[in-house]
Every structure is written in structure tokens, then in C-alpha cells.
Structure 1
Amino acid sequence: MATHLADTTVLNNGIKMPWLGLGVWKVKEGDEVQRAILSAIETGYRAIDTAAVYGNEAGVGDAIRDSGIARDQLFITTKVWNSDQGYETTLKAFDESMKKLRLDYLDLYLVHWPVQGKYLDTWKALEKLYRDGYVRAIGVSNFHVHHLEDLKQNSEIVPAVDQVEYHPLLTQKELLAYCKENGIQMEAWSPLMQGNLDQPVLVEIGQKYGKSPAQVILRWDLQNGVVTIPKSVTPERIRQNADVFDFTLTAEEMEQISRLNQNKRFGPDPDNFDF
């Protein structure tokens, strides 16, 4: 169980990945993303999650260089967008991302969505990037069990990570169990339900520990063995999101939170997403 911000999980290829990182979805390119990342790194975060479609890879790269932290102490993730999927186009998109980030290698590269008819070729490109040493680990995002099974039958490398929408209103029990059984690390995007935190159970449990509903959710993520990447641009909120290692939820509290599940998505369903 994660007990410190510096704690890591070991991916299926032996690479260490921080349990908690900063997501930068919808964070503006330039000063805003740079300030958020520098604040996070100062707090002790070592994982940053971006994507080509976020439009802020250059700012992420600038912040990495300005941080003064050695590159091998950071864990950087980006993703190939849907319109770039396919074998050759993915390789080209990766080059573009690396130019913007100005990095020599990437820690984790993800297929952003399972674009039907393309994601298998996209995955083959990721396998090449991994074998050629440009990426330390490869994974997917927004893949259901049936997408992962399809990959399993038609590829050589098992994804190291599946980054999906995951929170108390969308517990994805079947997917989490599948990932654990197959050595795939599940990672939560939008863990804080895009601000929809007004759940009495979360408030009540938080009051017991002197924590906010957001902190309770992030602790629940970690105790479920799920990597979590809450997004914020506010230094105080960035610090609060990292202050989740000094309490432990009981088994009963974990179950209370899980019972909030409504299979409710704030983002698209990967099976019904207009690519």
C-alpha cells in the first residue's frame, strides 16, 4: 500500500511508476501548465500526465527543464490522439510529441482511445517504439475488457497500463479485476469526478480523518491499487491532493465508498465515442 508520495508501483516490465501524479488535461499551454507542474514538483510529485490532444506538451517540456530535477527522477506520460492512429501515423505523432516535449525518451506512451479498425496497428507502432528504446513502457487508455482481450490475441506485448475514467460513481469492478489478473496497472483519470464531490458518505468519512472528499477519493484509489492523476492548477489544491498518505480507510469505509457506484461517466463511453 502506498504510504508516501514517493512510493511507486512496479509495472509488468519492471519499470517503477509513481502511485500519484499530476494530470494536465485542459491546462492551458504556456505559463499555466508550467506553473502547475513546477508547483507539483516542488510538492514532491514526480509523475506528469499529458497527451498530444491537450495541446500543452511544449509547456510540459519547459517545466521539466525548469524544475532542476534530474530527468531519470521524473515519470512522463503522453498519448497518441485518435486522428493520428495507425502504424506509420503513430510513429510520426510520437516524433511530434517528442519534439514538443524536447525529451530523449518517454516513460509511458498510451493509445488514447480504442479507435476501431486502427488501435491494433497503433499498438504495433508502440511495440516498435518500446523495442527501439524510445519508451520505457507502453499502455492504453479507455480500453474495456474486450479491447484488452483483442490486443492480447493480436499482439506480443501486454499493456503495462490502462488509464480509464475511474471514481466512486464508476468503479469498473470487472475491468479492475481483469487488469489485476493480467498484470496491467489501472490508472484513474478524472478521479475527482470533475468536481462532483457532494456525496454525504465522502464528507462524513473525510470529517473523521480531517480530510476533504477529494482526499478521501484519492486514498480510496490508492488502497484499491489504482494509480491516480488528479488535475489542478492551484498550488494549495496540488498540495492537498498529495496529502493522502497519513491516513488509511477501513475495509468498511472502502466498501461504503464503492457502494456509491452508479456506472456514471462524466466522459465518453469508449464503446460509443464518436471518433
Structure 2
Amino acid sequence: MRYGSAALCLSSLVVAASATAAEVDARPFDKLTLSGSMSTFKDTDDEGGGGSLGYLHYFTPDFLAGVGVDHTYVEQAKLTYGSARAAWGRGGPASRFTVVGEYYNGEGDDNGRKFDYEVAVLGISQALTSKLSIQLEEREIDIDTTNGNLPKLGVTYVWSPRFVTNVAYAKSVSGNLGTELTSARLDYFGKHVNFLLGGSTGTANPAVLVLQPGVVLPASQSKEGFVGIGKTFKRAEITLLGDYLDVSGSEKYTVTLSFTAYLGSRGQ
């Protein structure tokens, strides 16, 4: 049984953590996000999907925190987990320092066999100039029989208020993750629509990228690509994301639709 988008801990989430840091500098709106996804595997009959609900509260322009819940499945396998995250920032645009923390905990069921899911993230971001910043992240992963630590180093450059790029390198240093990934992401914030494009390549444990609970496999070649389009409104935003993941010849396609509502008087 191949298990779909259980949370792409080593690929999409490699750049997801830095998004929390960026939100500290964004407009201070409380956000309620609802998303749904559907996945299919090439050359098999397996299909999956999932949904998530998240809430992010801006206590001050420098501090935010939120919680969420996520459920995903592929055929008879399923996973449900809760999450909490927070970010605190300090300083002006040219010297901004941000600390990010995330925690994911839940339980899965692989056709009647229970397994645990736990991921903890601690990251820092430091602006070197008003355009250039670096990110250092430590990710501790414990998913069934797969575990280890995955540090990551990233660099973000703001070419203009509309065009941002990020590159990152992650390599596991313990456990059985056997992971070494290079990733890149490009974001364009247009006047009418937003675009994002990115991907990763390297080696990773298939039990984490395409979760196979209870199975420890050697590190395999992995590549991922994703593309998305979004639209921002006065009190909301909507994003459609397509993701392709290939781990040792196992190919998965996922489409995710997300809707975010801006809440409170600060969203006026």
C-alpha cells in the first residue's frame, strides 16, 4: 500500500516553514484556511485525497500563532494529525530576525495497523539586507519506523515587491531518513493573480515521501515539481496547486485547492 499526501515532510514542507516567517511581515490579518486535495498514482489503481483546516491569529505584527487539523488517505490507509505553529520577528526589513516553531502530531491506520506520526520544526530567518535573507531549520521526524533529524539551509532573495525566489539544501544527520534534497521556489505576486513554481531533487526515504508505514526502505532517487496560481481579494484568497512526485519510479499527482478568509476588523 502506497500512502499519498501524508504531509510531504521532505519536499513541499521544506519551503513551507519559511512561509510562516514571511507571514510575520505580511498584513496583520487573522486567517482561516480550508483546503482539499485529490491524488492519483501512475501505473496503479490507488487514489487518495484529504482535507485540512487551519487558523492563524496575529497577536501583534511581530508575533503570530495558529493551530490546524489535517486528514489524508490513500485506499485503505489514512492519517489524521493536528498541528500548532508560531513565529516571532524583530527588527526592520534590512535586519529582520524571525524564529519559527511548528509541531505535528497524530495517528494513522494502515489497513488495520496503527502507527504514530510526529514532526517537530524549529527554524530561524535572518535578513542580511532588505532583499536578501537566510534560513536555518532543524526538522525532527518520527513516522512509524522512520525517524531522524533533517537540518536545512535556505536563501531567499526579493528581486522586487512582486518577485521572490528561494533555494534550499537539506541533509539528514541521524536515523534512517537517508535524505539529501535540493529545492527551489519562485513566487510572483501579480496585480490580478499570483503564481508559484518550484520543486526538489535528490535522495530520500520512500517511507517519508510516499509513506509506506512499517516498511524501512533504502534511500531512493526523488524528484518533485509543483506549480500554482492564486487570486487575492479584499477579504480572501484562493490558490490552486498541482504537484508531481516521483520516488524510485513511483509517481504521484496531487491537485490541491485552498481558500483563505481574512478575519476580524484588521481585514477591512
Calculate the TM-score normalised by the size of structure 2. 0.33
Higher fraction of strand: 2
Greater relative CO (CA pairs within 8 A, separation 6+): 1
Calculate the TM-score normalised by the size of structure 1. 0.33
